[in-house]
């Protein structure tokens, strides 16, 4: 039988391989099987380490320390039906944007003081209770006032098209490397927003007479 080559750091589901360990012996009434085992660490917060049979890694029978199963159960038990997953991801995305500096979107949220209210932060269930009833498929979470954080009074569900339109008017720019929305940047350097928009549409950035540099974030994605 061909021997599988498994490298340290290779990932199966949430398992990350550390090293090969003693094979496990499985004895049934008519035969004994020896199965290769790998010490793996789960990529969840618990960082559980366990020896996992190679075959279970390869065929997807073992994908985590049990955390994935637990998360699904929590979801099933907290609300009902198919909407759970979407609501859960909306909740998770919101927490990530506001609290995880490694999140791609953090600079537009957490870094500029957009927070999640403590009620929602503590519990996805509280978020489901507040926002679940008004949710419909195809809608996305939106803050009514862009300067304020995530809480029931400032949140609603809107269509993705509407959100994109709002975002276009509130285009994100870097003003001297500081994240701002276009209207703020225009005010900051003292020109009309339509003028700034015109120049940003022409290229990826402008330098104002007093030396402020404004760049269109959407055109810089690869560089930062």
In the complex, the smallest distance separating the C-beta of residue 55 from Zn ion, rounded to whole angstroms, is 20
Measured CA angle at 65 (ends 61, 68), to 5 deg: 75
Number of residues near Zn ion (by CB under 5 A): 5
Q: From 102, 152, 109, select the one nearest 129 (Cα to Cα).
A: 152
Residue 44 touching Zn ion (CB under 5 A): yes
Q: Which of 65, 131, 141, 186 binds Zn ion (CB under 5 A)?
A: 65
Q: Which residue has the tokens 């759970």?
A: 84
Residue ranges with strand state E in the chain: 11-12, 15-27, 32-42, 49-53, 139-143, 155-159, 172-175, 178-181, 205-207, 213-216
In the complex, the smallest distance separating the C-beta of residue 49 from Zn ion, rounded to whole angstroms, is 10
In 100-136, alpha helices (H): 118-122, 124-131
Residue 206 touching Zn ion (CB under 5 A): no
Residue placing its CB nearer to Zn ion in the complex, 62 or 64: 64
Q: Which of residues 92-151 bind Zn ion (CB under 5 A)?
A: none
In the complex, the smallest distance separating the C-beta of residue 6 from Zn ion, rounded to whole angstroms, is 19
Residue 64 touching Zn ion (CB under 5 A): yes
Whole-number Å distance between alpha carbons of 72 and 199:
48
Residue 62 touching Zn ion (CB under 5 A): no
Residue placing its CB nearer to Zn ion in the complex, 95 or 98: 95
Give the largest CA-CA distance in the chain: 85
Residue placing its CB nearer to Zn ion in the complex, 42 or 54: 42
Residue 63 touching Zn ion (CB under 5 A): no
Whole-number Å distance between alpha carbons of 183 and 193:
6
Site stretch for Zn ion (CB under 5 A), options 43-51, 141-149, 178-186, 204-212: 43-51
In the complex, the smallest distance separating the C-beta of residue 51 from Zn ion, rounded to whole angstroms, is 15
Report strand pairing: 155-159 vs 139-143: antiparallel
Residue 42 touching Zn ion (CB under 5 A): yes
Site stretch for Zn ion (CB under 5 A), options 5-13, 36-44, 119-127, 174-182: 36-44
In the complex, the smallest distance separating the C-beta of residue 170 from Zn ion, rounded to whole angstroms, is 38
Q: Which of residues 67-96 bind Zn ion (CB under 5 A)?
A: 67
Please name the helix (run of DSSP H) or strand (run of DSSP E) that holds residue 201, with its range, or none.
helix 193-202
Burial (CB count <10 Å: 0-12, 13-18, 19+), residue 39: middle
The site for Zn ion (CB under 5 A) is made up of 42, 44, 64-65, 67
């Amino acid at each position: 039988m061909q021997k599988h080559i498994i490298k340290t750091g290779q990932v199966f589901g949430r398992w990350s391989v550390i090293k090969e360990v003693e094979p496990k012996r499985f004895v049934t009434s008519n035969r004994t099987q020896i199965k290769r085992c790998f010490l793996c660490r789960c990529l969840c917060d618990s960082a559980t380490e366990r020896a996992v049979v190679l075959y279970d890694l390869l065929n997807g029978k073992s994908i985590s320390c049990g955390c994935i199963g637990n998360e699904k159960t929590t979801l099933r038990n907290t609300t009902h039906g198919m909407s759970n997953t979407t609501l859960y991801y909306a909740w998770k995305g919101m927490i990530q944007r506001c609290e995880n500096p490694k999140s791609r979107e953090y600079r537009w949220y957490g870094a500029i003081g957009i927070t999640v209210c403590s009620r929602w932060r503590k519990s996805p269930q509280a978020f489901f209770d507040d926002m679940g009833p008004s949710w419909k498929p195809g809608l996305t979470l939106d803050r009514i006032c862009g300067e304020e954080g995530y809480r029931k009074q400032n949140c609603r569900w809107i269509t993705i098209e509407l959100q994109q339109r709002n975002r276009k008017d509130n285009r994100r720019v870097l003003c001297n490397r500081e994240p701002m929305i276009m209207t703020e940047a225009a005010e900051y350097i003292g020109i009309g927003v339509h003028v700034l928009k015109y120049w940003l549409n022409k290229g990826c950035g402008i330098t104002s007479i007093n030396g402020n540099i404004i760049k269109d974030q959407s055109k810089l994605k690869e560089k930062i």
